[in-house]
Structure formats: C-alpha cells, structure tokens
Homo-oligomer: A and B are copies of this chain.
C-alpha cells in the first residue's frame, strides 16, 4: 500500500467562511464553557490516537465531533470567539460542505497567505494566555515546537485535559477488544529471547528502564496481538521494561484467560492501560530512562522529563531497539510469509480473472469489486482481517491519492481503461500488500507507455544487486528511472517495510529518493521485506500502480563485500494487454518473461478452476 508524503498538518492554507449548523454550534458553545472553567483560551484538536496510529478509532474523533468534518487529516482550533480547521488540498471541498453553517472557518493548508497553526497562534495569542490540548494526541516534536515558539510570548500550555470527556456525552468507548497470544512456533522467537535482545540494547544505551509506546513494537516483543486499531492487529498498550521486570499496560477487559495465563508464564506483569503515567511518576527508576521521542506522545514525554529532573537521572532519546529487531524477519517468519504471500497471490490472480470476465457482462463498481476481493481473501486459511481498506479505483479515480470508493459514490467499471486495486490481508502467517492495475477495455498508447514504464521500474528494482550498507535511497532510482527518463514522477515513496501479522507500514527501512538533512538512513539487511510500487497518476485521466513485495536476500560475499538482492514474495500476473515492448529494453522483456514464468510455476498449483488456469497460462505467456 502506497505511503504518500502528507502535507504537514501545520502547513499553510487559505481562509474561507460559511453558514448555520446548530448541533455543532451548541457543541462548540459547551466546549467554550469547559475552556473557561479550565482557564484555556484556545483548545486544539488534531487527528490522532495516543500512539499516532495510522487509523484512529471513533473514540478519538473529537475534531469531527466539534466541526462535522470527517476527513483523515485535520486539526480544529477553538478560541473564545473563533474556530478554525486546518486541512490539506484533498479535503477542501469536503470540509467546506461538511462544516457549512458551523461557524468554523476552513484553513487551506499550503495555500498562499494562510498561516500554519503555530503561526496563527503566535500572532493571535497574548501574553499570559493558555493553549490547551490533550497531550496524549500530540506528538512530542509538535508539542515541543509549540512550547518553544509560544514560550517567547509567555503563552503557557495546558496538556492534561481532554475537554471532550465532559462535553461529548455520547462518546464511543475507547476501543477495547480481546487480545490473543501467538505461539512461539508461529513467531519463530519467544518473548523471553526477544526481551533479552532488547535488554542488551538498553545496556548499550546505558539505560536501566525503558518506556516503549509504539503499539506494533509492543506486539512484536510480547508475541501478543490485539484489535484496537482498524486493520492493525494491535492492542492499545504501553510497556515499561527494566532489567528484571516487564510491565504491560493494557485495558483489563482485553485480557482473556489465555493472555493472562501466558503473561503469568513468561513473566509479564499486567497493569491497567490508563494508569501508565501515574505508574511512571511513581516507579523506582534505577538508572537512565530510554525512550524514543518519535514514538512518544507529548504528555508522556513531559512526565518522563519531570521524573528524570526530580530524580537526577538522564532521559536517553534513541531509536526504539525493537524497530531494527522487528524489521529483519527471522527464518520462521520468512517461511510463513512466503507461503502466505503465495496463497494471497493466487487469490488475487483469481480475482483478476473474475474482473476480466465479469466487467461488461454483469454490473461491477469499484466498491463491489473491492467487496468481491475482500470476501475471496477472507476464505484463505488463517485470515484475520484486511491489512488496510482495499483501494479500488477506476480510470481517473485512480489518479487521486487516497481515493476511497464507498458503496454510494463508487464508479461503475466499464469495458474501457484500467481498474487499480491495492489490497492486502493479515493472516496467521503474515501481512500482505499488493497492487495490480487491471486492463478492463481499450487503452490509449499513452496509457500503455505509462503502464510499461511502471512495470519496467518495478522489475528493475526487484532485480537489483547491491552491496550491504545500501539503503533505499541508493536503489530508488532503479524504480523511478524509466519514468524519470520520460519526465514523469510519482509523488510517493517507492517502498515501505511491512510487519509480520502486524501493520502494513513499518520502518525503519523504506525506498525513497529525497534526502532529509540530518536524518540517518536504514540499510537494507537480509530478512527485511519491502514494497516496490512505482506508479503514474495523470489527473482526470488514469492512475497506474504495480506493487510487488520483495524480501532482501544475501548473495555473493567476496573481496568487495557482501552483495544483497531481492526475491519476489508476490506472484501475480502483470497485465500484458497494457504492455508495449517498444518502451522496454531487452533486459526488461527478459525480466518480465522470467517473472511471469515464476508466477505460473508458483501460482498454478494453487488454482483449481481449469478456466482460470487456462487464462493464467495465456496471461503469463512469453513475449518478445
């Protein structure tokens, strides 16, 4: 699944105003009463849960409750007399419609003349005033930035109040679903072994206590899973690790009997999720405390800071040691991943056959196509859930980043053009992610050119050989090169890491080209898995993306060093109807033929339907 570069929520925009919505107006009125009670002049509501997860549950939709706008990116700021909501260009029209009559002004991020939130606060807040927000839903970097900037005006922050708690009377509950235990056999490594690796890293950092806030890292480390974030099999949790204890903070109600038995057995002390900060304040820290600023919310950071100051310790801000350990999959994980990807690929192959043989005969919309694929995937053994909501986008819709077809707005798929489908599942054995763009009818020469160049890029990266030490930056140009040569780019990363029975986006590795000064890069190491997903997006016309998942594999080791390369995990046909060989080099044609040969060899044994098999044979035929 593609990772777009989001405009920062604190980016610039342009102002707009509108008309009347008494429900929202009443909510804001009550919010202002709470603000007054708490001495807060401005109250800020961003889009995040307590762990900066990719998806926020209904409980966290405070911004939506107070302004009506339900897009995936937006920050609402309510003052004593005004209310403003910042969002990015994808949502300008939607936000204007949804906020009509609420009195909330739309702030168009990144448009000329529109201040960022911090710029706005800086010019409108006065000495002695107070900015409030729930410090659990603001990242440490944004919190520190606001504190520093507003500090120059003697504005203070109040971060320990979630005002929605009082005002939002019918608020959904904090997500709370049963946790479950994965067997050591399935994980390839026990909690105990993982923990001793983490403790070794803690020692290297000179720390004796470690607060881990990142949900997928906690799940990886404990071999537990949950279901509190959409499409991410994680439980809301924190972990406090010392040299002789491991305390896991989760909601009491999520702890099944199995989970409790397991935790007792492996030495995990269970405590209530909501008590973590109080625990941190009171716990006896025997040495410096490790945490990762990138993954810790602002109030947790402030509690830690306060603690180390009081107790004359040091706070060590370093990359969560779990990140690298989790990223390079172990042999058991890899074995399971390979199997799961093969079954997932075969299912996708059957879906492609279904699309090609149904469009034009029966009504198909983007939405029904997605439903079809989702239900096919659910039949696979060990299916847990989708790894992200399936993206199914027809022709021009596929050119829109973050386009999401709903039952009501979905376009009908006709016998013309392309259907882009980006999808994946989480199974007992791995998390998958794959994109194919399927030819459903006639294509222009330009579209064939774009499709062919995208395929060349995907395969060139997949066939790379490189020395150990290389990062995604070194190899990104292999995927982008064919498009760059044609003056085309895609405004998203080429690749991201993927979890094992976990989140579809995980670090530290990625494949991108742009340098961020001061940021260190993560080398690709054997066992990492990474997506390879170039694309072309032509507004109003078409969108193409081809995504395979690759495993990093060790190769020749000689006097020059250790060479690495990739192995495909995804085996699904690439649509030859959209290929024009005049845009390919010999080696590109060979690469496509070699790939298709493997697809047929690996996938055909999993296909039972003779018709599908016959089609697959043809769909993976050698071209020249």
Contact = CB atoms under 8 A, between A and B. Distances in A.
B586 A487 contact: no
Interface stretch (A225-233, A365-373, A384-392, A515-523): A515-523
B586 A491 contact: no
A435 to B, nearest CB: 20
A477 B469 CA distance: 13
12 contacts: A464-B477, A464-B481, A467-B484, A467-B489, A467-B513, A469-B513, A474-B474, A478-B481, A487-B563, A489-B561, A517-B520, A518-B518
Interface string A549-591: 0000001101011010000000000000000000001110000
A471 interface: yes
B488 A560 contact: yes
Contacts of A284: none
Main secondary structure of the interface of A (DSSP, over half): mixed
Interface in A443-495: 464-467, 469-471, 473-478, 481, 484-485, 487-489, 491
A514 interface: yes
A314 to B, nearest CB: 19
Contacts of A515: 469, 471, 473, 520-521, 523
Contact of A469 (B465, B514, B587): B514
Contact of A485 (B465, B476, B491): B465
A525 to B, nearest CB: 14
Contacts of A491: 560
A561 B513 CA distance: 14
A474 B471 contact: no
A517 B469 CA distance: 11
A518 B521 CA distance: 9
Contacts of A478: 477, 481
Contact of A585 (B558, B563, B587): B587
Contacts of A471: 515
A488 B466 CA distance: 10
Contacts of A465: 481, 484-485, 487
A605 B469 CA distance: 47
Contact of A560 (B473, B475, B477, B487): B487
- What band does the interface of chain A fall in when counting residues whose beta carbon is under 8 Å from B? 35 or more
A467 B490 CA distance: 11
Interface of A: 464-467, 469-471, 473-478, 481, 484-485, 487-489, 491, 513-515, 517-518, 520-521, 523, 555-556, 558, 560-561, 563, 585-587
Enumerate the 8 nearest inter-chain pairs by beta-carbon distance, A residue then B residue, closest first.
A489-B560, A487-B556, A465-B484, A517-B520, A585-B585, A465-B485, A585-B587, A586-B586
A462 to B, nearest CB: 13
Nearest to A561: B489
Nearest to A486: B465
A269 to B, nearest CB: 36
Nearest to A539: B559
Nearest to A564: B484
A400 to B, nearest CB: 14
A467 B481 CA distance: 10
A384 B367 CA distance: 73
Contacts of A513: 467, 469-470, 474
A469 B476 CA distance: 14
A510 to B, nearest CB: 14
Contacts of A485: 465
A560 B478 CA distance: 18
A464 B481 CA distance: 8
Which one of A466, A476, A484 has the greatest number of beta carbons of chain B within 10 Å? A484
Given A469-B513, A477-B478, A487-B555, 5 more contacts: A465-B484, A466-B477, A471-B515, A473-B515, A586-B586
Given A470-B513, A476-B474, A586-B585, A563 B484 contact: yes
Contacts of A473: 473-474, 515
A556 B473 CA distance: 23
A611 to B, nearest CB: 37
A514 B520 CA distance: 12
Contact of A477 (B474, B517, B555): B474
A530 to B, nearest CB: 16
A560 B489 CA distance: 6
Contacts of A555: 487
Contacts of A464: 477, 481, 484
A484 B469 contact: no
A555 B478 CA distance: 20
A586 B481 CA distance: 16
A471 B513 CA distance: 9
Contacts of A561: 489
A487 B474 CA distance: 17
